[in-house]
Structure formats: structure tokens, C-alpha cells
Amino acid sequence: MISAGEFRNGITFDMDGKVMQVIEFQHVKPGKGAAFVRVKMKNVITGGVTETSFNPSAKYPTAYIERRKMEYSYNDGDLYYFMDPETYELEPIGKDVLDDSFNFVKENDVCVVMSYKGSVFGVEAPRFVDLEVTATEPGFAGNTATNVTKPATVETGAEVKVPLFINEGDRIQIDTTTGEYLGRAK
């Protein structure tokens, strides 16, 4: 159990059956009346953000989020299979749990699978990935306008905006959180 007076950024707790994570907190001691804790928190399963005030002595059970590194193996329809590197067991995860950053994950990439009480609610893709460009229009010689981009398809099938000098077969680095081109892969 954790009291509201002990809240810190990043702490997860169970509130009315929902797993909440503290984003920001502020202890307030007004001149008149009792002290309270103003908390901005996020529901880790749905992603909704709310702001609430708590009595500092209110107690809530601590929620332990399990984070396991697992290797993405393959997908079969709407099920994506991840392998536990210690037991070599495959765990199927539904497509509805994956976010847009998963479009840049290829087979054998290591992801972080997050679960609460055995129920998987999210998959974190690697922050940066190096992928090969499989299709793009050829660049034009002499086109030197700055910040001009063109669409390119990478080996996972996702589309990225890249500078004009990138050609098919080039390896590029992508930020999976924003889906932006960062540069050529080293």
C-alpha cells in the first residue's frame, strides 16, 4: 500500500481497479483547511490522462507492472508472436495491443512486453531502428532545395518521408516514436 502523500513521478498504483501512473504531483498546504496532493496521472492500459486531488493519508495498493524483453518472431493474421529468450516459449499478442511504432519492427527485433497481473496491455518497440529502403522515387540531380522530402517504403512495409538523396537499397535510421527519418544507418 502507498499513501497519496508518498506519490512520486512514475509510481504506479491501483485505483478502483484501474492501473494509474503518476505523471506530475504537487503537495499543497493552503492557509486554511487541510493539505492535499494534486496529481496528474495516466491510465497505463487505456492511455487516458486525468487530474485529481487526494487526501495525503489516502492509501492505494501498489501496482507492479511487469516489463519483459521478448523477441518478435512472426505474425499470423491478427496475432503477433513474441519469444521469451529464457524459456523459448512463444506468446501470442493481439494486434489491438500494438501501437503505430510497431510498424517499424521486423522479425527478431527485441521489444519490451508490458503486463499487469498476467494480462499484456502494451508492447514497446525499440526507440531507433535501422531499415532498408525497398521502394522510392529516384532523386533528381541538381535539386538542392532544402527540407524537401519524398515518400519511401522500408522493409517492414511502413512508409517514411526521406530526403531526395536517399535511394532504394540504402539503410536508414528511424525514430519509432515519431516515425521520422533520422539519417543514414552507420
DSSP 16-64: TTEEEEEEEEEEE--SSS--EEEEEEEETTT--EEEEEE-TT-EEPBP-
Q: Give the confidence band of 140 by pLDDT, cuts at 50, 70, 90.
A: low
For the chain, the domains span: 2-60, 66-124, 128-184
Cell numbers 531499415: residue: 131
Q: Give the confidence band of 25 by pLDDT, cuts at 50, 70, 90.
A: very high
Q: Give the confidence band of 144 by pLDDT, cuts at 50, 70, 90.
A: low
Q: Give the confidence band of 52 by pLDDT, cuts at 50, 70, 90.
A: very high
| 128-184 is a CATH 2.40.50.140 domain | yes
Q: Give the confidence band of 77 by pLDDT, cuts at 50, 70, 90.
A: confident
pLDDT tens per residue across span 160-172: 999 888 888 899 9
pLDDT tens per residue across span 27-42: 989 888 889 999 999 8
Cell numbers 522530402: residue: 149
pTM of the predicted model over 0.95: no
**Does this chain's domain 2-60 share its CATH topology with 66-124?**
no
Residue 132 has pLDDT above 80, yes or no: yes
| Predicted local distance difference test score (pLDDT) of residue 60 | 92
- Closest residue by Cα to residue 103 from 156, 170, 180, 174: 156
Residue 97 has pLDDT above 90, yes or no: no
- CATH number of the domain at 66-124, please? 2.40.50.140
Q: Which CATH architecture has domain 2-60?
A: Roll (2.30)
Q: State the Cα–Cα distance between residues 37 and 173, nearest whole angstrom.
A: 43
